[in-house]
Amino acid sequence: MSAKIIDGNALSAQLRGEVAQRAAALTAKGHQPGLAVILVGDSQASQVYVRNKVKGCQENGIYSVLEKYDASMSEAELLARVEALNNDPKINGILVQLPLPPHIDANKVIEAIAAEKDVDGFHISNAGLLMTGQPLFRPCTPYGVMKMLESINYPVRGATAVVVGASNIVGKPQAMLLLQAGATVTICNSKTRDLGHHTRDADIVVVATGKRNIVTADMVKPGAVVIDVGMNRDDAGKLCGDVDYAPTAEVAGWITPVPGGVGPMTITMLLVNTIEAAERAAHG
């Protein structure tokens, strides 16, 4: 058996078309959506991510500002910038790219973002709203994964799902979204003993650990949906995920490639969240 591919680029293109239409409708009423992206430091990976986020805005009619600061920026200076953006009516979404330099308390910065502009969905009140089934913003990567499952009409209700990875950015919110959609969810992590024991039982496996080949073909149930959130480099320097792709694709029913899977969806869902924030701000 050979898995069908869930094409994140194709699904993104379709969703971005809808984003552009909603952005144009808001702009026509004098409420162009706006996103502010803050990058502190010069991490190569973060530079690429923020550039793509801003490009996504520009291509779809969302106003964007990119604020880049030296790694020596103080926590107080960053908090002051967040506060200024909280009060800027042109800005509907604020994203502070993580990780931050070690002298800055990331939790403190995230809590400083106005919850109604927290398009990452990382603020403690947004995490609480998600957990209690009243999400305001769904964190972008797990939201994108849910859209991918929706795109193949996957019956999540009643399905068995294993999330490998328990970060605040992906694993934990992913588990909440799957649970709310009616799945029976197990959360594993990179230290789980006998990971395959859990994943082999799953109809849906979402992998987000940052560990290459942590999921291999023998750990996947024939026909399962395998969603790979990982973003690593192989020995040849080529981009790869957390799943041993080619052999696993022989066993799975559906699989997401890296690149071209979850990656583009994350940015697309950031654009969707920014539109949602702008629509709320415009309509009350």
Closer to ligand GUN by CB, 65 or 98: give it: 98
Residues in the chain: 284
- The candidate with the shortest Cα–Cα distance to 25, out of 284, 275, 277, is 275
By the rule CB under 6 A, 140 interacts with ligand GUN: yes
Q: What angle do CA 143, 263, 145 make, to 5 degrees?
A: 25
Nearer to ligand GUN, 145 or 219 (CB): 145
The least distance separating ligand GUN from the CB of residue 218, rounded to whole angstroms, comes to 30
Min. distance of Cβ 144 from ligand GUN in angstroms?
Answer: 10
Report the residue number, 93 or 253, with the smaller CB distance to ligand GUN. 93
Q: Would you say 183 or 208 has its CB closer to ligand GUN?
A: 208
**Cβ closer to ligand GUN: 202 or 258?**
258
Least separation in angstroms between residue 120's CB and ligand GUN is 5
Binding of ligand GUN by 95 (CB under 6 A): yes
| Residue with the shortest CB distance to ligand GUN | 98
For residue 34, the surrounding DSSP H or E stretch is strand 34-40
Q: Where are the alpha helices (DSSP H) in 226-261?
A: 245-249
Q: Omega into 89 within 30° of 0, i.e. cis?
A: no
- Window of 54-62, 94-102, 177-185, 205-213 that interacts with ligand GUN by CB under 6 A: 94-102
Q: Does 244 bind ligand GUN (CB under 6 A)?
A: no
Residue whose CB is less far from ligand GUN, 140 or 251: 140
Number of residues that bind ligand GUN (CB under 6 A): 8
Say if CB 248 and CB 205 are below 8 A apart. Answer: no
* Whole-number Cα distances in Å, 13 to 18, 145, 235, 277: 9, 15, 31, 21
Secondary structure of 58-119 as H, E, C letters: HHCCCEEEEEEECCCCCHHHHHHHHHHHHCCCCCCEEEECCCCCCCCCHHHHHHHCCHHHCC
SS3 state at 255: strand
**Residue 47, both tokens:** 């530079």
HSE, side-chain direction, 13 A CA sphere, residue 34: 16
Give the active site residues.
53, 97, 120
Q: Please select the residue that binds ligand GUN; options are 15, 146, 156, 169, rule is CB under 6 A.
A: 169
Among the listed residues 92, 97, 174, 192, the single contact to ligand GUN using CB under 6 A: 97
Q: Least distance (Å) from ligand GUN to the CB of residue 136?
A: 16
- Contacting ligand GUN (CB under 6 A), which of 120, 242, 244, 276? 120
Among 5, 65, 66, 98, binds ligand GUN (CB under 6 A): 98
Q: State the amino acid at position 64 in one-letter form.
A: S
Interface contacts to ligand GUN, rule CB under 6 A: 95-98, 120, 140-141, 169
